[in-house]
Structure 1
Amino acid sequence: MKTKRPWLGLLVILGPVLLVAMDGSILFLVMPQLTAELHPTADQSLWILDIYGFAVGSLLVAFGNLGDRLGRLKLLTAGAALFGLSSAAASFAQTPEQLIALRALMGIAGATLLPSALAVLGELFPDARQRSRAIGIFAATFAAGFAVGPVVAGQLLDRFWWGSVFLINLPVVVVFLLLAPFLLREVRAVRPGTVDAWSVVASAAGLLLTMYGVKHLAAAGFELLPTFLGVAGLAILWWFVRRQQHLDHPLVDLTLFRDRVFTLAIVTGLIPLAAWSATAYLAAIHLQSVLDLPVRTAALLAVPGAVVLTLTCILTPAAVARFSTRTALITCHTLIAAGLLPLLLLNATGGIPWYVASTVITAVGYGISFSVVADTAVAAVPPDRAGSAAALAETSNELGNALGIALLGSLAALIFRLTGPGLAGTLTQSLQTPDLPPEAQAAAKSAFVLGLHVTITLVALIHAGLAVLTTRWTRPQEPARP
């Protein structure tokens, strides 16, 4: 039983990890149906999508530190219970405001799960080789959750109502709560410090205020109060960074970023997830609302990319050991930049083969990003900082997921508002306008496609730039990270 316990414990941990990742993407295909029933505004639609990611991302580091002090298993168990309860409530939300609030609560619960789950692996696998393998499986599961979220949603929506995408969390949570006390053990840091409450508040408030200002500007244009709040959010984030430099136990250890490879790895966790979330969300709307595909068909089109992404996560650690982290980072950004270009061939009447080709090519880059970030973060710090380092890695993923929809989604929304027929703030709402003439329908779809193309072009250029930056910042003889 002793030899089986670590692997059984890993299986139990992977359940909540899969759910947290899935819930970052599971609403992409749900939004047209959800919009038809709850009638959210354009900025409410974006909040429904990304408040979860912001809640997870802004609190991951805090809960990573808190788990070091209170006990990671204790926090993991409490978080799983809260995640299950909030998921059940979200499935029956009656208004956009209720759903936004419950998605935020799910994000808070998710923030307790990820760093604690990864840190508990250290207790399960004291052997370095087995631990590296377990972390690779962890990363693959996390990546698979993001990738299969829309696929699972599509299958559920073909049979049930939109709230069913949250109810599927409950069986996994129940199994975890029943088995975790028998298979997992409590883990605490050797020298816990103090959690700086002001840093926790500043990181969360700064992110939310900044994104509120950006999204309101894109969806509704300039207004004094939202703009002021956005600027205030930027000021709070600046103060947060300054404060970390003077704390004995900072929420974010900025000294880790003195290592250029570590910095590039964290950026590789942030930017690809921003690209993936934004393009997956916009492409899902294109397939359903522009091309009028059934939700089940749209979900099945994402399967090849999901399979390739998961396999890449599993194979990347061995490839990095054989070549180098530098090669992995350059390959990641190059493939994403090249793989996004086929999406420029999507139009108001077709482009499905180009969509599938894009998801397969970019999936390799996205899979590399998951694996490199997790390995680099855990290997770069002492064991007693594993929770905090893991939180930084997962924070880059979760913030990337949320920022992609918030910033890039807002860019697409801005272009739609400026070039569309002016009937509503989103394509789905515009197409639901009573007695909509064919020319207005065509104008709305064309405006959405234009926003998609501009967003894709920007993201591809960013990744091409990161590939060049990686080449300049690192040397060919750079040793591979374990």
Structure 2
Amino acid sequence: MNEQRVSPSPGPRAWLGLLVVLGPVLLVAMDGSVLFLAMPKVSEALSPTVHQALWILDVYGFAVGSLLIAFGNIGDRYGRRKLLMTGAAVFGAASAGAAFATGPELLIAARALMGVAGATLLPSALAVLSELFTEPRQRARAIGVFAATFAAGFAIGPIIGGQLLNSFWWGSVFLINVPVVVLFLVLAPLLLREVRATGTGRIDVLSVVLSAAGILLTVHAVKDAAAEGPAATSTAAGITGVAVLGWFVRRQLRLEHPLIDFSLFRDRVFTIAAVTGLLPLAAWSATAYLGGVYLQSVLGLTVLDAALVALPGAAVLTVTCIVTPALLARIGTRAALITCHFLITAGMFLLLSTDLSDGIGWYVTSTVVAGIGYGVSFSVVADTAVAAVPAERAGSAAAIAETANEIGNALGIALLGSLAALVFRLQGPDLAGTLDETLKIPGLTAAVIGEAKSAFVTGLHAAAAVAGVLHAALGLLALRHLPRGTADDGLDRTGGSRRGAVPGAPDRVGRRA
């Protein structure tokens, strides 16, 4: 039997352990966004093609998202601290490899390895927290700090990248991970105990392969079609990817221990929460990346100035993540879920007012308004998803919510970024696949430069408009279908308290190895 240890008042070791765990969590989140302002410098140094540039940006998120649930199960069986330390070591080594990559192919490979390692860190970190904080109220507070740190990492990643690029070469945005990883590997054995769970079931390797292959083939087809136009190879890859994903879904419905429990989507509250986990990250990642290119390559800002322009939105997002739990006690989760989508919609539509010469004010206003919506959504998704299902299925619900966040971050760049690339290809001067590649061509006339910048801004507007419309539609669905009292006060459908459940590891009582 598992040994449950109750500690009503966590001591200094618990809080120091939390601080140590937050290091890798912050890195995983930051590396999902740190390249958004750095890509012009990376493009200048490595000259990637348009779809190599997109893969550099989003292969990390796809690797994390496609393996998150699988590594959660592996950690349950073999030990969370062991997996956490192994993942951190690999993450540090891959970061060093990315920092010194000599070509786009090597950088893509290093980013993919970083994503694989990142997938080990998030579920393991949450389970270790459940061992450090066994009293529900204190555990909920620790998880709130965890969630805020993760959201803040996404928000400040571009800012940190911009600051580093102002003084160092582009590889510094990866090399900064190494000392944090080394410090974690030194302190973790002293402050963290091993955590395992029993009865987690067999890991279905074929499901892991099918999910990753289906996602990558489908996204590759979308990117290739956007960059080069429709072709037989991209069409075949897309059809194969969709078929593989269909096979994956059918297999999950038959397995006793599926990677994703699709039956949970029969609950409309859970479904809206899961989509809310995906869509805001997609909108945020796409507009943050495209906005970074806009500020530097269209408006001509330095990377440091671009980072300063992005700072207000990042600050608002982070503060909103921190204050949202207290806000929920006043307005309820239903109102928060509905409001966040309309705020993001407003932020996306404000971005449509940017142009070739006067866009900084509109950009800042857009990121601040949307940042409030992002912060609310990041804070309530996991809790809403967990509260929507029976207690015995909370682990699966939270794992899906976490996966939706990571896949959303990658899909935003893959799909909305590909939409912007398609618009640029159709409306631009047709000299190169990206704005940065075009501007590096010698001897361009002012008219051609203006045409290229105008095509990029139109692509940015197209991506923002699509994201805004999708959020408006989801907000209307939430308004219509979420019952009043949804997840209010942390209560589940039976009235039992669910506040303090650990996303990714609720209902699994840790035991010391």
TM-score (ref. length: structure 2): 0.91
Say yes or no: does 1:268 pair with 2:280: no
Query: Any idea what SS the aligned residue of 2:321 has?
Result: helix
1:188 deviates by: 1.4
Structure 2 equivalent of residue 122 of structure 1: 130
Say yes or no: does 1:24 pair with 2:32: yes
Structure 2 equivalent of residue 426 of structure 1: 434
Structure 1 equivalent of residue 286 of structure 2: 278
Say yes or no: does 1:79 pair with 2:87: yes
Structure 2 equivalent of residue 255 of structure 1: 263
Give CA-to-partner distance per residue, 1:14-57, whole Å, 9 cap, x none.
Answer: 10000000000000111111111101000100000000000001
Out of 224, 228, 233, the position equivalent to 2:232 is 224
In structure 2, what residue type is equivalent to 1:222? P
Structure 2 equivalent of residue 350 of structure 1: 358
Say yes or no: does 1:33 pair with 2:41: yes
Say if 1:304 and 1:360, in contact at 8 Å, map to a contact too: yes
Query: Any idea what SS the aligned residue of 1:199 has?
Result: helix
CA distance, structure 1, for counterparts of residue 452 and residue 253 of structure 2: 48
CA change 1:123–1:256 in 2 (3 A) is farther
Say if 1:190 and 1:384, in contact at 8 Å, map to a contact too: no
In structure 1, what residue type is equivalent to 2:326? A
CA distance, structure 1, for counterparts of residue 202 and residue 393 of structure 2: 13
Give the count of matched residue pairs: 482
CA distance, structure 1, for counterparts of residue 130 and residue 257 of structure 2: 22
In structure 2, what residue type is equivalent to 1:409? G
CA distance, structure 1, for counterparts of residue 127 and residue 340 of structure 2: 26
Say if 1:191 and 1:384, in contact at 8 Å, map to a contact too: no
CA change 1:447–1:421 in 2 (3 A) is same
CA distance, structure 2, for counterparts of residue 96 and residue 405 of structure 1: 17
Say yes or no: does 1:193 pair with 2:188: no
Give CA-to-partner distance per residue, 1:127-170, whole Å, 9 cap, x none.
Answer: 11111111111111001000000100111000000000001001
Give CA-to-partner distance per residue, 1:297-340, whole Å, 9 cap, x none.
Answer: 00011111111111111111222233322111001101100112
Structure 1 equivalent of residue 503 of structure 2: none
Structure 2 equivalent of residue 335 of structure 1: 343
Once the two structures are superposed, the pairs formed by residues 263-342 of structure 1 within 5 Å of their partners are: 263-342=271-350
Query: Structure 2: any 5+ residue segments left out of the alignment?
Result: 1-8, 491-498, 500-513
Structure 2 equivalent of residue 151 of structure 1: 159
In structure 2, what residue type is equivalent to 1:330? I
CA distance, structure 2, for counterparts of residue 378 and residue 412 of structure 1: 35
CA distance, structure 2, for counterparts of residue 14 and residue 166 of structure 1: 18
In structure 1, what residue type is equivalent to 2:409? N
Say if 1:115 and 1:387, in contact at 8 Å, map to a contact too: no
Give CA-to-partner distance per residue, 1:243-288, whole Å, 9 cap, x none.
Answer: 1111000001123223322221111110000000000111110000
Structure 2 equivalent of residue 370 of structure 1: 378
CA change 1:378–1:472 in 2 (3 A) is closer
Say if 1:284 and 1:298, in contact at 8 Å, map to a contact too: yes
Give CA-to-partner distance per residue, 1:172-209, whole Å, 9 cap, x none.
Answer: 10111111111111111231200001100000000000
Say if 2:264 and 2:397, in contact at 8 Å, map to a contact too: no
In structure 1, what residue type is equivalent to 2:11? T
Q: Tell me how large the CA RMSD over aligned residues is.
A: 1.5
1:376 deviates by: 3.0
Say yes or no: does 1:48 pair with 2:56: yes
1:375 deviates by: 2.2
CA distance, structure 2, for counterparts of residue 21 and residue 225 of structure 1: 34
1:354 deviates by: 0.8
Say if 1:72 and 1:188, in contact at 8 Å, map to a contact too: yes
Say if 1:288 and 1:295, in contact at 8 Å, map to a contact too: yes
CA distance, structure 1, for counterparts of residue 392 and residue 120 of structure 2: 17
CA distance, structure 1, for counterparts of residue 78 and residue 392 of structure 2: 13
Query: Any idea what SS the aligned residue of 1:348 has?
Result: coil
Say if 2:317 and 2:372, in contact at 8 Å, map to a contact too: yes
CA change 1:164–1:384 in 2 (3 A) is farther
Once the two structures are superposed, the pairs formed by residues 393-412 of structure 1 within 5 Å of their partners are: 393-412=401-420
Once the two structures are superposed, the pairs formed by residues 125-136 of structure 1 within 5 Å of their partners are: 125-136=133-144
Say if 1:65 and 1:388, in contact at 8 Å, map to a contact too: no
In structure 1, what residue type is equivalent to 2:172? S
CA distance, structure 1, for counterparts of residue 245 and residue 40 of structure 2: 34
TM-score (ref. length: structure 1): 0.97
The share of aligned pairs that are identical, in percent, is 65
1:386 deviates by: 6.6
Say yes or no: does 1:210 pair with 2:218: yes
1:341 deviates by: 1.5
Say if 1:336 and 1:366, in contact at 8 Å, map to a contact too: yes
Structure 2 equivalent of residue 443 of structure 1: 451
Say yes or no: does 1:175 pair with 2:183: yes
Query: Structure 1: any 5+ residue segments left out of the alignment?
Result: none
Out of 56, 61, 68, the position equivalent to 1:60 is 68
CA distance, structure 2, for counterparts of residue 477 and residue 93 of structure 1: 52
CA distance, structure 1, for counterparts of residue 450 and residue 210 of structure 2: 44
CA distance, structure 2, for counterparts of residue 380 and residue 357 of structure 1: 34
Out of 474, 482, 504, the position equivalent to 1:474 is 482
Moved more, 384-393 or 91-100: 384-393
CA distance, structure 2, for counterparts of residue 40 and residue 459 of structure 1: 26
CA change 1:479–1:143 in 2 (3 A) is closer
1:5 deviates by: 1.6
